[in-house]
Amino acid sequence: MKPLLPICRLLRLLNRFPVKPSPPVSFSTSSYLCSQKKKSSYEAVDQAKYCRLVRSVLSRGPVQTPESLFKEDDVLYGPVSKCKVPEQEQQARVPQHWFPIFNEEKNGKPHTNGSSSPLKIPLQRNMIPSVTRILQHTMPSEQSFFLERWKQRMVLELGEDGFAEYTSNVFLQGKQFHEALESILSPQENLKGGEEHPQCGYIKSVQHILKEIGSVQALESAVQHEALQYVGLLDCVAEYQGKLCVIDWKTSEKPKPFIQNTYDNPLQVVAYMGAVNHDANYSFQVQCGLIVVAYKDGSPAHPHFMDEELCSKYWAKWLLRLEEYTEKQKNQSIPKPE
């Protein structure tokens, strides 16, 4: 306790003398006072740009795949489905020259004789553009952007040669799948060695669809719309659940449970429907469409049925794409088909 005694005496002595209070401290916003403070180098950094950089670096995984890149894009930019055309703009766009998809003068029904062979008209090369060509040259800018970005990323992952081999294999698998279906649906041909067929996964995928198909009228057959001047090669015309349809067979590496996932395929189907209904080579009329998406792993295919009302809506969109192609061709931005 002794060391504390001098301190206590000192405090008593200080209490005897008055202590003047210090003047109040005021803050000034003058340039002089602000200049006295040392400026941090971090204040000059673009915070928004820095945050985006950090987020981009942290979001990258050890292995980049097309699926992971698309997921990353969804996080950074949001799902693509959110970017929709305003309803007013959609309603404002109507075909300038309307042409019906159905032919009032054609009331014929398909042949019911099972012994008759399906139509298989070869596609003739001429100056008339094909449905595929028209859709490719009028692809929406957003869809074209994502397709090109996907190609670039696949090239980065697989290399130029690897991507060329990948696309070649996809094309070959699709061709073999269509040939196998043609053999199955043709009454005069049978699929041999189905268990060892390279497309047995796709065939297994569509088994539940094939059970609902009958009265095949056309297989891999060419169609031409004389009035609208376009041609195409349809996959199949047959009855699905009792309704005559233009059927389009598709393969996919990922599920497509909704018709919106099929991009321009509905436009392709209705284009073939309109051509069939106005082509003199076909005595019958088609009022429905069907898109079947098959999977290599054998999982059940997704059927997308298009009734008369839905086909009419897509037909209006097809006429718009056809007018756009014609306008571009007039402006010589598209070379004429050989």
Catalytic residues: 235, 248, 250
- Specify the residue for token string 């890149």: 69
* Cβ burial 251-278 (10 Å sphere, 16+ → b, else e): beeeebeebeebebbbbbbbbbbbbbbb
**Cα–Cα dist 246/59, whole Å:** 45
């003739």: which residue's tokens? 124
231 vs 225: CA distance, rounded Å: 6
Q: 244 with 237: CB under 8 angstroms? A: yes
Which residues, in sequence order, are CB contacts of 283 under 8 Å at separation 6+? 106, 108, 110
Q: Which residue, among 244, 257, 323, has the nearest Cα to 286 in the 3D structure?
A: 244
Per the document, the length of the chain is 338
Q: How many CA atoms lie within 13 A of 92 on its CB side?
A: 5
Q: Where are the extended beta strands (E) located within the chain?
A: 213-225, 230-240, 243-252, 288-295, 302-306
Decide the pairing of beta strands 302-306 and 288-295: antiparallel
All residues at 6 or more sequence positions from 207 whose CB lies less than 8 Å from its CB, including other chains: none
Q: What is the residue-wise DSSP string for 289-305?
A: EEEEEEETT-PPPEEEE
The answer to whether the beta carbons of residues 322 and 134 sit under 8 Å apart is yes
Report in angstroms the alpha-carbon separations of 227 from 33, 56, 191, 277. Answer: 82, 53, 39, 12
CA distance 248 to 131: 13
Q: What are phi and psi of 247, to 5 degrees?
A: -105, 130
